[in-house]
Amino acid sequence: MPSEKPSKKKNFSQNVILPVSLGILSLVAGLWLSQQILINNNDAQVPKNLDATVLPNARLLVEFNLLDQNQKTFSPAQLKGQWSFLFFGFTNCPDVCPTTLKVMQSMWKTLPTKIGDKGHPKLYFVSVDPQRDKPEILKNYVQYFNPEFNGITGKLNEIDKLTNQIGILYGFDEKDGDNDKEYIVNHSSQLILVDPKGRMRAVISPPHDAKTIASNFQTIRTFYGD
């Protein structure tokens, strides 16, 4: 029957296509696997020539329960899925905090990614002064610098759970004068970079500079992958 001819041809081409596609598939899988191994190998190494201090063994951040500027939970889960910068301070801070947030505003303008893009980071400004910095104040404060920035605060014991894990220090200076709302908060001014798995990956020490932070961040991102 003439109708069987194309059918046999089809069988023949199927016989060829299957091994070829299997071959391509295994090649792709192999490449992917070697890429994964490469990434996993990088995981315990650090990129060179950085101003940031990179942790060879990224430290998983656990167990803290804070509030974001919209009164929603901010816990380790919120640090997963994207790179995050953490900075600690308070809104009654005249010098260090606004200067650093201004630097991060400039740094954000140099990012090659936009909000929603893979690898686009988040910035969390964590107030260690929950007595004065209510979520709505924090929201107005950080969004003045960039509408993408997030303000975080919470109970002091929950803030401590986070700061103790990453080596951030803070303390209150004795309240002087007639107004007990006037006091100074001393605090570490390092920026902490958290990877998309929610692990502390790098510490960036002051004086902060937008260009250096931007280039260090891209180097770290490329080295470890998003």
- List of residues 6+ apart from 177 with CB closer than 8 A: none
Contact region with another protein (CB under 8 A), list: 27-35, 61-69, 74-82, 209-217: 209-217
Nearer to another protein, 95 or 180 (CB): 95
Q: Examine residue 4 and tell whether it contacts another protein (CB under 8 A).
A: no
Measured CA to CA, the distance from residue 77 to residue 73 in angstroms comes to: 9
Contact region with another protein (CB under 8 A), list: 19-27, 57-65, 86-94, 112-120: 86-94
Measured CA to CA, the distance from residue 66 to residue 160 in angstroms comes to: 10
Amino acid at 5: K
Residue of 92, 165, 218, 219 that binds another protein (CB under 8 A): 92
For residues 151 and 125, the answer to whether their CB atoms sit within 8 Å is: yes
Measured CA to CA, the distance from residue 226 to residue 220 in angstroms comes to: 9
Residue of 13, 27, 206, 222 that binds another protein (CB under 8 A): 206
Pairing mode, strands 150-153 and 73-74: unpaired
Question: For the window 117-156, what string marks contact with another protein as x by the rule CB under 8 A?
Answer: --------------------x--xx--xx-----------
For residues 92 and 130, the answer to whether their CB atoms sit within 8 Å is: no
Interface with another protein by CB under 8 A: which residues?
91-96, 98-99, 102-103, 106, 137, 140-141, 144-145, 167, 169-171, 173, 182, 184, 186-189, 206-211
